[in-house]
Amino acid sequence: MDKGKGRADDNNMDQSSFVDSDYDLSDKEEDNIMAAQVERWKNVVDSMRTIGDGDGDDGGTGDDLPSDSPSTRTESDDDLGDRDSEVVKIVSRRYKASTDLNDPKWEVGLWFNSKQDFTELVQHQGVKIGKKLRLKKNDKIRCVAYCRRVLRSKKNRPGYPWMVTLAYRSGLGCWQISRLRDTHKCGGASYNHGCANAKYLSRLFKEDMRVFPGMTVGQFIEKVHGKMKITISSGKAKRAMARARKLIEGDLIKQYKRLHDYKTEILRANPRSTIVLATQRLEDGYDKFKAIYIAYEACKTSFKRHCMRITGLDGCHLKGQASGILLAAIGLDLNDQIFPNAFAVVRIENTDTWSWFLRLLVLDLEIKDSSNWTFISDRQKGLINVVRVAARMPCTELKDKIWEAARATNTYGFEKAMEELKGLNEAAYKWLTAHTKKESWSRAFFGFEAKCDILVNNISEYYNRVLLFAREKPLYGMLECIRMYLMDRFTSRRKMGAWMEDCIGPKIRKKLEKLKEKIGECMAGEAGEWIYQVNTKFNEQFVVDLRDRTCSCRHWILTGILCQHAIAAIEMTGIGY
């Protein structure tokens, strides 16, 4: 097999777009060569009124236009249109799609590189002028295009007001117009016909679909009507959009076949990354896709060095042609922003797929003691049985008092909120105490390892929304969109960090400034060496130990961010923070 050809097929490239600048001919040079060939073959002109006798084939299928049933070459067919033949000027000019497609000049002698160029021109003109153009006797040596709105002659024989006959010239190796009747006598235009089929529309609106991939069927129909003044059905619009997506993104099955090549290329460009492709060997010897797991080296290394030991786990459905589930592990950086760790595409979401995903994640993040880590989830199907830890936070619609109890950082605040909840709704209080453990949803009973104050899995939900556009693509396109998103995100964060003059992240600094506004509610007094007592206007007292970096409200040690009481104590010392 030709290596060059195989490589082009793998990359879905058009070989005709390859140009060798050393040997390429200009349009003028090609025209001169063709004119010389025509001069040498003058006998071709003498036989213009008969169909050529060549045996070549340009490979064009002519499938874009509706064709009549295959017909044999008969005397009546050859005499078609002879009665009204006119004396025309024979020309030798090459058809150029770039200039002639929208404004063609039909002439006898006009030659085409392929029959497909001719059929595309006929189809485009049929749509443009609103005529029902069809193909007749479309075979290896000839192709006849005519207007379907046939008129009857006096002898009741069909006459064709507009007709073009294309013949293959074996001596010249091209296709030429041998007969022409460029007159339409069939009345007005029709803007609801079969020339604008799904294949034609997909090619014409491919770039519109590329720019606006989320286009709906209704929007596509309106765009076709606005640009071409024709009306199409919703079924034809769906078929055209599906073909356009296939042209843009490639064939779905071919994308699965290229996953091994994709894995090799990613590992070449990103050494030490983790890519696991799980397949199932079938009886016929072929491999069936099961799942793919990807964790880039930059994600793994940066998370272990600079991020907190907290990870959100979530799964979401794919929206495009490829069905499946996108699993993701999302962390938090020191600026309280999401930090993607790893992701995987699996066929279904269950205990086995989550177990497989988390086993790989544990190895990549080097999690040796899970008790020092915090995992947040929305209790997806199969995930509850995998993450066997105490802290399983139920993300339900919580009321104000339940939120107050959940946000409380010490036992006093928690018990106060629960008593108020009991006074408002005793049934809700009993259900909450009977069906949940306070250690699983209230910050007052959380450990100090996570250093994070989030209570719900918003980080994973945000990540899923960001990747909504990628989830609508086929598998290969989706993986590339995710990679590009990660690359752009890391690049922008690196540039932002390079220009930062503050050692504290912008979001954390904003939180501190907001807490600083509340120190007017506090009054600090020195109680010992680096120890301060802080009284609030609500008659509350807190003890701040600046040496151990703790406050009796537990906010500082829970989140790693100063509380308003600690800020009040630091302001009293004048040392800054």
Q: Are residues 325 and 362 in the same domain?
A: yes
Hey, what are 177's tokens?
Answer: 């117009």
Task: Tell me how far apart the alpha carbons of residues 428 and 434 are, in angstroms, rounded to a whole number.
Answer: 10
Q: Are residues 472 and 515 in the same domain?
A: no
SS3 436: coil
Let me know whether 332 and 472 are in one domain. yes
Residue where a domain terminates, one of 460, 489, 518: 489
Residue 215 C-alpha from the chain's centroid: 13
> What spatial distance separates the first Cα and last Cα of the chain, rounded to whole Å?
70
Beta bridge partners of 293: 276, 344
Rounded alpha-carbon distances, angstroms, from residue 537 to 515, 518, 519, 524, 525 = 15, 11, 11, 12, 14
DSSP 192: S
CA gap 198, 241 in Å, rounded? 8
**Among the residues of 250-384, which ranges form H helices?**
252-257, 259-269, 297-306, 351-365
* Each residue's pLDDT tens digit, 245-293: 888 777 667 788 888 999 999 999 999 999 999 998 888 888 889 999 9
Q: Is 550 helix (H, G, I), strand (E, B) or coil?
A: strand
What CA–CA distance (Å, rounded) separates 180 from 163? 6
DSSP 8-state class, residue 287: E
Residue at which a domain ends, from 489, 523, 556: 489
**Would you call 301 helix, strand, or coil by DSSP?**
helix
Which regions of the chain are under pLDDT 70?
A: 1-92, 149-160, 185-194, 251-252, 320-322, 379-382, 387-399, 440, 447-457, 576-577
Angle (nearest 5°) at CA 30 between 27 and 33? 155
Total-model pTM: 0.57
**HSE toward the beta carbon, residue 522, CA cutoff 13 A:** 24
Looking at every residue in the chain, the average pLDDT score rounds to 75
- Report the alpha-carbon distance of residue 318 to residue 51 in Å, rounded: 55
Do residue 160 and residue 302 come from a single domain?
no
Evaluate whether 535 touches 523 at the Cβ level (below 8 Å): yes
Report yes or no on 188 lying in a domain: yes
Q: Please state, in angstroms and rounded to a whole number, the distance separating the CA atoms of residues 363 and 238.
A: 45
Domain match, 156 and 92 both: yes
Q: Find out whether 329 and 313 touch, Cβ atoms under 8 Å.
A: yes
User: Do 168 and 208 reside in the same domain of the chain?
Assistant: no
Helix (H, G, I), strand (E, B) or coil at 108: coil
H or E element, residue 117:
helix 115-129
Domain-embedded: residue 13? no
CA distance 446 to 60: 71
Asked if 143 and 62 touch (Cβ cutoff 8 Å), the reply is yes
Number of domains in the chain: 4
* Ramachandran angles phi, psi of 60, nearest 5°: -70, 145
Residue tagged 């922003």 (tokens): 337
Question: Which pLDDT score, from 0 to 100, does residue 263 have?
Answer: 93
Q: What pLDDT, on a 0 to 100 scale, did the predictor assign at position 166?
A: 86
CB neighbour list of residue 515: distance below 8 Å, 6 or more residues apart: 562, 563, 564, 567
- Does residue 2 lie in a domain region? no
Tell me: do 377 and 356 sit in the same domain: yes
> pLDDT tens across 405-452, in order?
777 777 778 888 888 877 777 777 787 788 777 776 777 777 666 666
Residues 335 and 359 in one domain: yes
554 within 8 A of 409, measured Cβ to Cβ = yes
DSSP element (H, E) containing 535: strand 531-536
**Are 109 and 235 within one domain?**
no
Domain identity same for 455 and 551: no
Same domain, 458 and 371: yes
Name 338's Cβ contacts closer than 8 Å, sequence gap at least 6. Answer: 330, 331, 332, 459, 462, 463
Q: How many residues does the chain have?
A: 577
pLDDT value, residue 267: 94
Contact by Cβ (8 Å): 314, 464: yes
Is residue 373 domain-shared with residue 267, that is, in the same domain? yes
Range of the structural domain that residue 268 is part of: 261-391+446-489
DSSP 476-526: HHHHHHHHHHHHHHHHHHHHHHHH--SSS-HHHHHHHHHHHTTGGGEEEEE
Give the bridge partners for 181, in sequence order: 163
Q: What is the pLDDT of residue 391?
A: 41
Of 157, 174, 195, the residue at which a domain comes to its end is 195
* Residue in the block written with tokens 């009204």: 84
205 located within any domain: yes
452: in domain: yes
